[in-house]
Each structure stands twice: as C-alpha cells, then as structure tokens.
Structure 1
Amino acid sequence: MTEVVDLAELAATAGLEQELDRLAKSQGIIRTRQLNQQETWTVLGAALTRELLSDPRLSNDVHTHAPHGALVPGMAVMLLEQDDPGHARNRRLVSAAFASRAVRQLEPRIVEITRQLLDGLGERGTADFIEEFTYPMPLEVICELLGVPAEDRDPFRKWAMDISAAPSVEAMQAAAVELFSYCIGLIGAKRERPTEDLLSELIVARFDDGSALSDAELSSFAAVLLIAGHDTVTNLLANALHDLLAHPEQLAALRRDPALVGAAVEEALRFRGSAMTTVNRVAREDIEAGGVTIRKGELVRFLLNAANRDTEVRADPHSFDIGRATAQHVAFGMGPHFCLGQRLARQEATIALTEILQRFSTLELAVPADEVRWLPSDAIRGLVELPLRYAR
C-alpha cells in the first residue's frame, strides 16, 4: 500500500524541505492528504515538475472533471481552474490589464504603505512582524490594486484572514462565498463610477469579438487575487526575513551591497517559497509518470518547494546563498498557468526588504530559533508568527 503523507503535519516542522528531499530521492511522486482529507498525487522532482506542469493530459478544470478537487466547489474560478482555449483567451485580457497604467503607477503607493507600517512599529523594540507588517502590507496593496474603498477594508481583511487561516474547509468556503458576494457589489459600483484601478480596467476591457468578462468572472478574479496575492506575499516576506536572520553572513552581505536585494528575493523564493503547492489538477487519462500510474480522474498537484530543492538542479540546494548564480526556480509555477502576479510579488518583496534594512540597523529574532513555529498547511509555507527585535 502506498504511504500517504500528511503534508500539513509535515509543514509544521522546520525540517520540511529536508524531509521532502529524502522522499524525492526515492519517489518522484508521492500520495499526500489535503486539508479536506482527500488524497492526491503530489509531484516532487524538478524534471518531472517541469514536464507535467505543461502536460495537456492534466486539466485545471476540476469543476468539470473532478468537482471534489475544486478550491470552492460550485464556483468556477477564473484562470486558476480553466483550460485552454478559454484560459488563454481570458489570460490575454487580464495580462493586458496587469500592464495598465493603474498597475505600473502602483510602486510609489507600495513604498508609502511600507513606510507607514514601519512607522507604526515605533520605538517599541520588539514586534511580531507578521501581525504588524507582512500581513497588512500586501493586503493594503491588493486593496489599492482592486480599488477597494477605505471604509470596506476591515471586512476585506477579515475575509482574507478567514480564508488563509480557516480551521476547516467549510469555514474557508463560507468566507469565500462572502468575499465573492462583496466583489459582485464592488463591480456594480465600479461600472457606475470607474476609478484608476485594475478592476475598473477589467470591467471596460473587451475581447477581439467585443465581448467582456461577466460579473461572475470578474468577481472570481478579484477574489483569487486577494487569496493568492495576499497570502503568498505575506509569507514570502516573513520567510525571507527569517532566512536572512538565520544566515547572518547573508544578511551582512545584503547590508553591504543593497543592490543584491533582487537576488535575495529570488533566493528566498527558491529556498522557501510561500506557495508550497499548486492548485489541484485532474488527469484526463491514465498517465505513467515517476514510476506510478495516475488514473483518469485522480487529482495531481505539484510541490514547488521540493522541486526548488532538487539536488539534480543544484548541488547545494539546502544552503541559502543570495550570491548564487542565477538559477531557474518554479516558485511561480511554469507553463500556461505561470503566476500572473509574479512581477507585483517581486516588487513588493524588493521594496519591503529595502525599506526594512534601511530603517533598522539591528534586526534579530526575539525568541530562540527552535521556538519559531511553522504553519500546519498543505498549501502555504509560512510561519505562525515572526517575533523580531529591532533598533534604528
């Protein structure tokens, strides 16, 4: 009988990546248990990940082929859970909106949000950087990007928290339903009074045939942008800070040469990416891969953190080195569903690290390293909290 790994239980440990490396050396694909207790094939190795992420025999349209594997059953989620040609058609429209002036001019606002949050830390000397900074920072950026009114941001924050830290699938789905409903109302308001934001851009965007995205598709996009764009950046920032502090020689190198911040972000993505796994895909037919047979209708996902620590790709995958020669990673996936928000995530991380290191001459963990707690999640790699001691 094939062993079934409880990924959330494993992720609650600091040694997750080393254990995945051990598993990957004997098995290219393993069976894992998800939050809702359903089992799925999970791909570990880099070569197999790159091969299968672009394999048309794996469908993202779980709503049609395996409804039990959907993020939110009963709701078609645009782009993440679509196949071509519909996916390609919608992606072109959304890609154009991501290149709009509303997105290009967001950088000064990201800097402003970052500085305001760091100002809020004051002179206390210690703080949980997740609660005080890495959680609110990307959430405010997403709200700016979508044009969420200031008076609506408190419930928006609550839905984000309920979705990212839900104790059960049912609680997550309930919060998602409320979020989808709110987004429908927001879209209606922007149809009447458009503003300079991504959602307004998408409302007026048109396909070649003159048609537009439906309210349901727009709402799906807005909700997924919040869920995917907020949680992943929150934990990317926290993981990057944690790993820089755990490797003081790397932090010192970055302080000496701030131009290395881009390389530091890329190494943080490779070393301990926050988007640990992809969304579920479903096999359209039987597939022989990694020494196993994936049967038609079975769920498949990709453990990106395992692929990025593959010894066949780099000889020292468990070392954190911001000066490492540029090497491809799959922290944002690859193939047709390569993350559309990757540029924004990199931008947020680069600004955040730059501002933090300029602001604080001293930055260190406020608890012993072995007391740092990791999230018991089967999808997100992150910390429960990040208590830091800091000084100007």
Structure 2
Amino acid sequence: MSEAIDLAGLAASAGLERELQRLTTSRGIIRTRQLNQQETWTVLGAALTRELLSDPRLSNDVHTHAPHGALVEGMPVMLLEQDDPEHSRYRRLVTAAFASKAVRQLEPRIVQITRELLDALGDSGTADFIEAFTYPMPLEVICDLLGVPAEDRDPFRRWAMDISAAPSLEAMQKAAAELFAYCATLIAAKREHPTEDLLGEMIAARFEDGTGLSDEELSSFTAVLLIAGHDTVTNLLANALHDLLTHPAQLAALRRDPSLAGQAVEEALRFRGSAMTTVNRVALEDIEAGGVVIRKGELVRFLLNAANRDEDVREDPHTFDIGRATAQHMAFGMGPHFCLGQRLARQEATIALTEILDRFPTLELAVPPEEVRWLASDAIRGLEELPLRYARGTA
C-alpha cells in the first residue's frame, strides 16, 4: 500500500489541482491522511467518483460502522451521515423546507446585504475581500434564513472555520461542541416562541406519522447548514474573484456581458470548487475499484476538485473559461447526498459577482498572484485572504 499523502499540505498552494491531475492519471485512488492522522482511501477520477458516490456498499453511517470516521466524533448524527431509509425520510422534510416561503423570498435580502457591504467599502481603496465581503455576506444570509439573532452571530465564523479548516483536532472538537450547544439553545427559544424562518419551518415540520424532528436532529441540521451554507459560499466567492482576476480575458468577457455571471459561477465551481472533499464513507464489504481493494471497514472519501479537472471528461480541464458550452461538474456531489443548498449557493454567488463588478470598474489583486496564500485544509479549498484594490472610477 502506498504512503498516505498529506492533502492539507498539498492544498497550501495554487498548484493543488494540477498535482491532483497528475495523481489521477497515475492512480485514480490514493491514500490520504486526515487532520486526526487517520488514513482514508480518496477517490480522484470522475468516472470512478460517479460510480462509487451512488454505490450502496459505501455507507454514510460512519457513526455505526466506523465511529472514528465521523465528521465530528461524538457529536450528533448529521443528515449527510445517514443512510436510507432514515436519510430519505429526513431529507424529504428538509427539501420541503428549502421550498418554503422563507427561502423563495430571500433574493431581495441577498441583494440588500451585498449592497450594504459594498457601500461600507467606500468608493476606492484596498481591502481583504474575504474579511470585508465574502465572509460576512453568506453569514448574514444563512443567519437570516435560520433566524439567528444579530447579537449572536459573532462566534459563527470561528465555529465554521474551526470545523471545516481547523488548525488542530482539538480546535475542531471544541468548535463543534460550542456550535451544537448554541443550536440547542436557539431551538429551545424557537419552540417557545415560533418564528417564520427556515428553522421555524423545520421545527413545525411533521413526518407522515405526525411526529417531528428531535432537538438533536434539528441541531445537526442547523450546524450543517451553517457550515455548508456559510463557509463553502465564502470560499466559492473568494475563489471565483481570484480566478477571474488572474484570467483577465474572462473578466473582460463578463464585464462586457453581465448575463454570463451564472456561467461564471458554474465554471468557478468546476475549476476550483470550495467543497474540496466529501465527508467520509465506510465500506460495508470488500470493494475492488480503481485497481485497489477497499477492505470492509475502511474509510473512503471523494476529492471533487480532482474529478472536476479529470482529463477524461474534457481536454482542457486547467483552462478557466466562463464561455464553456457545458460546465458539468460535481462540485455539489451527486447521488442521494447531492447538496440541498446548491440553488441558494448559486444564487448568492451570481448576485455577488454581478454587484461587485457593476460597483467597481477597477478591481485587481493588490499583491502579486504568487503571494496569495491558500488554506492548508483537506476539506475546504480556499484562500487565507484576498487583498484587492478597487475603485468606482473608470477602469
């Protein structure tokens, strides 16, 4: 068996995706080492990713079959860590909630939040756009959607970052415990005083037998939505801006035709998606795949950024091109655990890019591209900071 690769170490560079392509060509499945030092089979190729993401021999229920592989060991089971029939039963309620009035009427609020944050930047200057915009924008959206009081929002960034891109296992566990404790308090308050928001919808939702979700299920739903709905959108927006600014012809094309914003978001998702890997799955039996044997009980995850740059899918995977005839990708996964919040993420990113480029005809990196620092994470693909120079004057 080959030596496990430190994926987080590789991720601390702009060249990660090209290195993943080299590995995909030679192996297809690799061994990687996670934050807690456990080793995991990591699937790279697009065809194998499509095949195994829907394979019933791989279980998401690591709490039962491999507790050490849980997203946060010892914490409540989350929707993305369930198998059928529990997963389908729970997902139906969540799907209905995402079609609720609270979500359908969110677009004007997204626009308002975006414009307020851009107003705060002033007419010109230099700023870290992650700190000034791509972090607070989706945080405000997801907290509005869940009905989190404004005075409670400050700790959320630390919790989200320490869970998805933690500096240590201890930091991740501490953040998860604090987040779940807060979610339980929030749910108790909303049970006593019902609210018209997504979390209020989930509290009121009922299964066919008339029962509702438990406080533990609601807490896990809230935590996942915070992490997936905030942290991944933060990094998607930052990555998209970075890749547009380092590909000036593509930026110029988008400025000429702002209706391409949706296509630009799709290409950003394919080219450098922020949700780099899936959560762990566990093999329920021995599985031969990609020239290796995954033994029963071993952990498996999928490196979506590698699948989206697979040369077997397209001839030019390392070309950033917002005009692609098709930008098919797996940035939101596929199969039964396909991301429920994908429509909201696309909506936020499209609005944000449109508003930023309309507001600032002059927008450029404030440092040389080689000085931009990437997160050392084995789960999230993102930047430590995005220093930009901007101005409302003529470009």
Question: TM-score by structure 2 length?
Answer: 0.98
Give 5+ residue unaligned stretches, structure 2.
none
Question: AA paired with 1:371?
Answer: E
Partner amino acid, structure 2, of 1:291 = G
Q: How does 1:204-283 map to 2 (within 5 A)?
A: 204-283=204-283
Question: Residue 72 of structure 2 corresponds to which residue in structure 1?
Answer: 72
Aligned residue pairs, count: 392
* Partner amino acid, structure 2, of 1:14: A
Q: Distance in 2 between matches of 1:73 and 1:164?
A: 14
> 2:71 aligned with 1:60, yes or no?
no
Note if contact 1:63-1:76 (Cα within 8 Å) is conserved in structure 2: no
Query: Partners of 2:200 and 2:135 in 1: how far apart?
Result: 25
Q: How many Å separate the matches in 1 of 2:327 and 2:351?
A: 22
Q: 2:105 matched to 1:109? A: no
Alpha carbons 2:238, 2:386 under 8 Å: kept: yes
What is the deviation of 1:104?
A: 0.6
How far apart, CA to CA, are the structure 2 residues paired with 1:327 and 1:346? 14
Moved more, 111-120 or 70-79: 70-79
Q: Which residue in 2 is equivalent to 1:197?
A: 197
Contact 1:77 1:221 (8 Å CA) reproduced: no
Question: 2:149 matched to 1:135?
Answer: no
Paired residue type of 1:47: A
Distance 2:161 2:39 in 1: 25
1:288-367 equivalences in 2 (<5 Å): 288-367=288-367
Residues 311 and 343 (structure 1), Cα distance of their counterparts in 2 relative to 1, 3 Å cut? same
Of all paired residues, the percent bearing the same amino acid is 85
In 1: Cα distance, 2:164 partner to 2:81 partner: 19
Deviation at 1:227, TM superposition (A): 1.2
Aligned residues of 1:235 and 1:274 also touching (Cα < 8 A)? yes
Q: 1:211 to 1:263 in 2, by over 3 A?
A: same
The CA deviation at 1:194 is 1.6
Residue type matched to 2:362 in 1? T
Q: CA deviation at 1:36?
A: 1.1
After superposition, what is the alpha-carbon deviation per residue over 1:186-224, rounded to whole angstroms, capped at 9, x for unaligned?
Answer: 111111212221000000000111111100000000011
Partner AA of 1:46 in structure 2: A
Distance in 1, Cα, partners of 2:135 & 2:304: 22
RMSD: 1.0
**Number of the residue aligned with 1:380:** 380
Query: Against the structure 1 CA distance between its residues 157 and 370, is the aligned structure 2 distance closer, same or farther, given a 3 Å change threshold?
Result: closer
* Alpha-carbon offset, residue 165 of structure 1: 4.4
Give the letter for the 1:36 counterpart.
N
Structure-to-structure mapping, 1:145-156, within 5 angstroms: 145-156=145-156
Name structure 1 gaps, 5 residues minimum.
Answer: none
SS of the aligned residue for 1:276 comes to: coil
SS of 1:293's partner is: strand
Distance in 1 between residues matched to 2:173 and 2:296, nearest whole Å: 27
Q: Secondary structure at the match of 1:4?
A: coil
Offset at 1:164?
Answer: 4.1
Shift of 1:94: 0.4
Point out the more displaced range, 124-133 or 215-224: 124-133
Q: Which amino acid aligns with 2:373?
A: R
- Code of the residue aligned with 2:264 in structure 1: it is A
Correspondence for 1:181: 181
- In 1: Cα distance, 2:301 partner to 2:158 partner: 28
Q: Do the aligned residues in 1 keep the contact of 2:126 with 2:389 (CA within 8 Å)?
A: yes
Is 1:163 paired with 2:163? yes
Deviations 1:323-380 (A, max 9, x none): 0011421000000000001001001000100000010001000000111111110011
